[in-house]
Structure formats: C-alpha cells, structure tokens
Amino acid sequence: MFNDLSSPAAFLATRRSGKPRDMIAPGPAAAQLHRILAAATRVPDHGKLAPWRFVVITPDKRDAFAALLQRALRDDKPEPSEREIAAAEDFARTAPVLVVAVSAPDRAAKIPLWEQELSAGAACMNLLNAAHAEGFVGGWLTEWPAFSDRVRTAFAPSDRPEAKIAGFIFLGTPSRELQERPRPDYADVVSEWQG
C-alpha cells in the first residue's frame, strides 16, 4: 500500500505500534534516545509552557520501578493474585527502553488545560514517530499504573504535583513482524465543511 517511501507522509504511514512484550534488544542507544526525546518536544505548545515531561527508567532502576508497582498494586488490592504480581513485574521489565510520559500542565497559566493536555499527547506521538524514524518500534500503554496515585506521585515534577501519567512508552526492536491493524475508512473520518 505504501510502496513509495520518498514522501514523509508515506513513511509515517508505515509506523506501527509494537507490543512491548514482543520487543527485544537493541533499544535506542543514548545518542539515539536523546534525538528521539528532543524530537518529541517539537510539538504545538501554546504559551511555550512545555506542559509535559519525559522520565527515562534506566535499566539499573527497573528493580526500583518493579518495587514501586508492587506497592501501588497493594494500595488498590491488599491481596493481589500471583498473576497480578507477575504482570506488574513483567510491566516493569518489558522492552529495552522505558520512558514515562507525564502530562504536566501549568494550571496557573492562561492557556486552557485541554490545550496543554493535547500538547502532551502530541509529544507522545512525536516520540513514537521519532523512534520509528530511528529504526525502532514503540508501544504507548497506560494500564493501571498510569492511574495509580502512588505511581503518579513518583513521576510528577515537584513544581507540578497534580501532573498525570500520559503513558508508558516502551521502545525496542520487534521480535516479530508488526501486523497492520484495521484503520478507519478515510471517508468516515474526513469531510469538507459544508457551511
């Protein structure tokens, strides 16, 4: 379908989300990750507020992240099942690179909160596109940790404690061919205003 990759739009149309559990090494090296995250910040940002943050969970901090998830799981469910405990461990250790995207709006600014939240979503999408351009696959998940107060507090900037987790973005190399998923029919989502 997208045989002509000379067009930037055609290249972007080749991006697929990867399942984090199917990602293997290598992930982006430090310089590649720097380029990916720098590109992620180049999004519409009314008021120049940078209402988002990215927190990289380095490999040496995955154990601490797993422990945080275990504590958060027990906050909501004092007696979690073995399966839930294992799922939390897997979540913390999945994929070579893990970035926590934080929506950190400036509530004192005159820019509407909704615009600031949209900017955070755009930053996440730019991150995924930049990872694709660097030759990696990305997966953007929320799942229960994104809605846990304990996890949210661990990643919220100190000057914006009400920040929310926009998602966990996993990066790596796909271990299997990425599958195309059904996409909306163009005519169903695009129209011309009739006045």
% helix / strand / coil in the chain, to the nearest 5? 45, 15, 40
Q: Decide: 130 and 171 in contact? Cβ < 8 Å.
A: no
- The one-letter amino acid code at 138 reads G
Show me where the domains of the chain are located: 17-58+94-176
Q: Which of 171, 24, 19 is nearest to 99 (CA)?
A: 171
pTM attached to this predicted model: 0.93
Q: How far apart are CA 52 and CA 104, in angstroms?
A: 5
pLDDT tens profile 46-84 = 999 999 999 999 999 999 999 999 999 999 898 999 999
Q: What is the pLDDT, as a whole number, of residue 3?
A: 47
pLDDT tens profile 111-125 = 999 999 999 999 999
User: The domain 17-58+94-176 is classified under which CATH number: 3.40.50.1820, 3.20.20.80, 3.40.718.10, 3.40.109.10?
Assistant: 3.40.109.10
pLDDT tens profile 9-51 = 988 988 999 999 999 999 999 999 999 999 999 999 999 999 9
Q: Looking at the predicted structure, is the pLDDT value of residue 127 above 90?
A: yes
Dihedral, 156, 132, 136, 183 alpha carbons, nearest 10: 90
